[in-house]
Amino acid sequence: MSSSRFVVFQGARNFRLRVILSTLSGRPIKIEKIRSDDMNPGLRDHEVSFLRLIEAVTNGSIIEISYTGTTVIFKPGIITGGTYTHNCAGAKPVGYFVEPMLYLAPFSKKKFSILFRGITASHSDAGIEAIKWGLMPIMEKFGVRECALHTLKRGSPPLGGGEVHLIVDSLIAQPITMHALEIPPISSIRGVAYSTRVSPSMVNRMIDGAKEVLKRVGCEVNITADVWRGENSGKSPGWGLTLVAENKSGWRYFTENIGGAGDIPEDVGREVAYELLEEISKSGVVGRTQLPLAIVYMVIGKEDIGRLRINQDQIDEKFIWLLRDIKKIFDTEVFLKPVDDISSRDLIATIKGVGFTNTSKKIA
């Protein structure tokens, strides 16, 4: 009967997602063979730090990590939220920790107010702007109206020293059932180019690079320069660009990148702009980075059928892993079918919510 007590996963893949899904569903999970073949087996620092964070925002969670760190048993408790300060360990930026919190925060007992300290930007994880302008609008669409991410300090890699404050004030019973069958046209492209401890000209050069590419699409492009100086700008120099394409009904697509050593700002700007075009071409109602959040919110919705239009290109390995993990934990499947329009390559993902409700919230 051990199989029914735990949902068993293998490998370090989707680590955060699995823990999050387990917390939402209340089903204990066991993750085995975490980098068991690696020279440095077991959990990484940032993963342990993430588990700490989960422990802090839940009550009654039991986390057992094996001696080698290759097996984790996680028995979720109740999401309690509250005020907490998390020092982001390891090389991972705050985005790595903030992103999973967005899945949990609206369904907690108390409001989330978490201060994250550490690096605020990186090449592979969500940046502050990406969360603020990319993921939070998705949450808004699902009924989480009051959520904010305040940047108190920016901290570029490698030394960091940034500080962001995540506040989620609306505790909802369940996400709204989504019916997004149309892809509204993009009305404008916004962006922010930021820098810490470098010359402001870098920012402007990035903007120039991006605008050069984007001027061809013919819609309004507005990129803000955001230069941080002084003690709020962290310990290392750095610069980056986030571009957001938005439409009237509140859906956003975004790409971001930061400058590395020896990068030319114009190139970074151009690259991000090209990536934005690519991302738009590969996105349905939501972009690829927003898809997991949207899908999970739809899965934990009411026992009604929600629909989301997605692009064929969005069905990649990540998506399949996501759906498989969801199926393992929630026992629910996503039904994909092509849209009515023959000229379109899009699919409609039909999801019946599992009837999740926020049970941890106290009644008045």
Partner 1 sequence: MEQSNKEHRKKKEKSTAKKKLHTQGHNAKAFAVAAPGKMARTMQRSSDVNERKLHVPMVDRTPEDDPPPVIVAVVGPPGTGKTTLIKSLVRRMTKTTLTEVNGPITVVSGKRRRLTFIECPADDLNSMVDVSKVADLVLLMIDGNFGFEMETMEFLNLAQHHGMPRVLGVATHLDLFKSQSTLRASKKRLKHRFWTEVYQGAKLFYLSGVINGRYPDREILNLSRFISVMKFRPLKWRNEHPYLLADRILDVTHPELIETQGKQIDRKVAIYGYLHGTSLSSVRGTKVHLAGVGDYSISHIEKLPDPCPTPYFQQKIDDYEREKAKEEGSTSAVPRRRKRLDDKQKLIYAPMSDVGGMLMDKDAVYIDTGNSKTGASGSTTQDKGESEELVSSLQAAQKSIGENYDGVGLQIFSSGQELHVDDSDHDSDENVSDPDVGKIGRSSLRNPRIYGKSIQEEDEEIDNLQSDDEEPDGRSEGRSSHMVEIDFGKDNGDEPILETESEFELSDHDEESWNRNTAAKLNGRSRRPKKWDIGKLIYMDNIDPSDCIKRWKGEDSHDENELSDEDAEGEDFFKKKDEADFKLDKFDSDLEKFKPHFETIKQLITKWSTVDTIKDRFVGTPIARSGDSEAPEGDDSDELYGDFEDLEANDNRDEVHNSSEDDSENDSENDSGNDTDGSFTNFDEEEKKDLTTEQERGLNAAKKESLRLQFEMEEGENFKEDDPENEYDTWYELQKAKIAKQLEINNAELESMTSEQRQKIEGYRAGSYVRIVFDRLPMEFVENFNPKFPVIMGGLLPTELKFGIINARIRRHRWHKKILKTNDPLVLSLGWRRFQTLPIYTTSDSRTRNRMLKYTPEHAYCTASFYGPLCSPNTTFCGIQIVANSDTTGSFRIAATGIVQEIDATVEIVKKLKLVGYPYKIFRNTAFIKDMFSSAMEVARFEGAQIKTVSGIRGEIKRALSKPEGHFRATFEDKILLSDVVILRSWYPVHIKKFYNPVTSLLLENKTEWKGLRLTGQIRAAMGIETPSNPDSAYKKIERSERHFNGLKVPTSIQKDLPFKSQLHQMKPQKKATYMAKRAVVLGGDEKKARTFMQKVFTISHAKDEKRKAKKQDERKQRLKKLAKLEETKLEKEKQRKKDFFSKNGSKRQFQSNDGDSSSKRRK
Binding residues for partner 1 restricted to 231-260, rule: CB under 8 A = 246-248, 250, 256
Binding marks (x or -) toward partner 1, 305..334, rule CB under 8 A? x-x----xx-xxxx-xxxxx--x---xxxx
Does residue 261 touch partner 1 according to CB under 8 A? no
Residue type, 110: K
Residue 336 interacts with partner 1 (CB under 8 A): yes or no = yes
Among 55, 208, 263, 271, binds partner 1 (CB under 8 A): 271
Q: Report the Cα–Cα distance between both ends of the chain, in Å, rounded.
A: 39
Neighbours of 106 (CB within 10 A): 28
125 binds partner 1 (CB under 8 A): yes
Contact indicator for 73, 108 with CB cutoff of 8 Å? no
Which of 83-91, 128-136, 153-161, 198-206 is the region at the interface with partner 1 (rule: CB under 8 A)? 128-136
Q: Give how far Cα 241 sits from Cα of 107, 170, 193, 208, Å.
A: 32, 30, 4, 11
Q: Say what angle helices 291-299 and 94-104 make with each other, to 10 degrees.
A: 20
d(CA 29, CA 287) in angstroms, rounded, equals 29
The two structure tokens encoding residue 286? 């939501």
Restricting to residues 25-54, name those near partner 1 by CB under 8 A: 25-27, 33, 35-38
Q: Can you tell me the distance from the alpha carbon of 86 to that of 70, in angstroms, rounded to the nearest whole number?
A: 24
Contact (CB, 8 A) for 43 and 69: yes
Q: Which residue has the tokens 């039909």?
A: 350
Residue closer to partner 1 (CB basis): 151 or 236: 151
Q: How far is the CB of 196 from partner 1 (least distance, A)?
A: 13
Does position 153 interact with partner 1 (CB under 8 A)? The reply is no
Stretch that binds partner 1, among 82-90, 154-162, 201-209, 347-355 (CB under 8 A): 347-355
- Say whether residue 124 binds partner 1 (CB under 8 A): yes
Contact between 68 and partner 1 (CB under 8 A)? no
The residue written with tokens 């020279």 in the block is 39
Site string for partner 1, 175-194 (x = CB under 8 A): -xx-x-xxxxxxxx-x-x--
Contact residue for partner 1 among 167, 219, 238, 298 (CB under 8 A): 219
